[in-house]
Copies of this chain bind each other. A is one copy, B any other.
Amino acid sequence: MNTIGNNFRVSIFGESHGKWVGVTIDGCPAGISLQEADLLPDLERRKAGASGTTPRTESDLPTFASGIFNGHTTGAPITIVFENQNIRSADYSAIRNTPRPGHADFVLTQKHRGYNDYRGGGHSSGRLTVGLVAAGVVAKKILGKINIAATLTEAGGQEDIEAAIALAIAQQDSIGGIVGCIVTNLPVGLGEPFFNSVESVISHVVFSIPAVKGIEFGAGFSSSQMTGSAHNDMIINEEGTTATNNSGGINGGISNGNDITFRVAIKPTSSTPQTQQTWNSESKTVAPFVVKGRHDLCIALRVPVVIEAATAIALADLQLSSSR
């Protein structure tokens, strides 16, 4: 299933080299000002083009298929589509016999008995995140003054990101990174103690983003090395403000009114320019292999806006679910 959310429901569809990719957003209240131009800044942030990103650039112009009338949401489902334009499908014909390490080629072929659209990763492509970003813009509007800011804080293990990219280009090998995210102005009380904890709901959507391999809230993994008296955040006033924020703004799965903070681990782009070894199902041997196609050396550069979108989608659903 390709749908998330109970009261703010997002479904994505499309394949990397198909006709369109897109998204349907259901449950968005009527009367929210929304025009195609509103989507462009976030779509631009996701786009390739900078140093370290793929030369495949798409115009990424959104078209509203439904749900918008006179510049406002109507209360009906909003469907937004993006044409796939800059496609070179010939690049991918070899995937059938030589599944690319780190990619979903092998698993999708097994799962769908060979019927999957293998070109460019098909439905598992990062291309699909264009729909997530579009839905994120709508979610951000619903969240109003709640602010979400994600930034790349490390690449290739260092904080000087430009230097990391330069090194990757010099080495001709892909690299990963760490994205930090902070949510401000969130009210107290979103989330549930168990299956819909804020951590559960955010992590669910964030792990939908290709290349994400870890998430930690507040002090996260370092919590495991702290004592309770050091870790606990002292409450200092009637509004629940805490002196520290080791909990990342969440207690018992519920937002406590302080900033929500989390960090996300992004693995290096699977498509490295380096020669790799993989199984060749034609020759029945492990054989050298070079990934074709055009790819990002550091996909993490493009991920922050997608993480913002994922977070906004998760929080908009929690907010619409709890404002009843």
Contacts and interface: CB of A to CB of B under 8 A. Distances in A.
Interface in A249-263: 251-257
Interface in A98-143: 99, 101-104, 106-108, 110-113, 115-117, 121-124, 128
Contacts of A236: 279, 286
A232 B24 contact: no
Interface in A17-74: 18-22, 24, 26-27, 29-31, 63-67, 69-70, 72-74
Contact of A196 (B1, B99, B216, B235): B1
A145 interface: no
Nearest to A203: B203
Contacts of A9: 1, 3
A75 interface: yes
A274 interface: yes
Given A24-B13, A238-B281, A74 B116 contact: yes
Chain A: number of interface residues, binned into ranges: 35 or more
Contact of A63 (B19, B122, B225): B19
A77 interface: yes
Given A74-B123, A106-B256, A226-B268, 13 more contacts: A19-B63, A76-B117, A107-B252, A108-B254, A168-B227, A194-B208, A200-B207, A215-B215, A216-B221, A223-B267, A224-B265, A224-B300, A227-B274
28 contacts: A1-B26, A1-B196, A1-B321, A3-B26, A3-B195, A11-B24, A22-B66, A75-B123, A76-B117, A99-B235, A101-B232, A106-B188, A107-B240, A124-B253, A154-B224, A157-B224, A171-B227, A173-B229, A199-B213, A200-B207, A201-B204, A213-B223, A213-B247, A221-B221, A227-B268, A227-B272, A228-B274, A320-B324
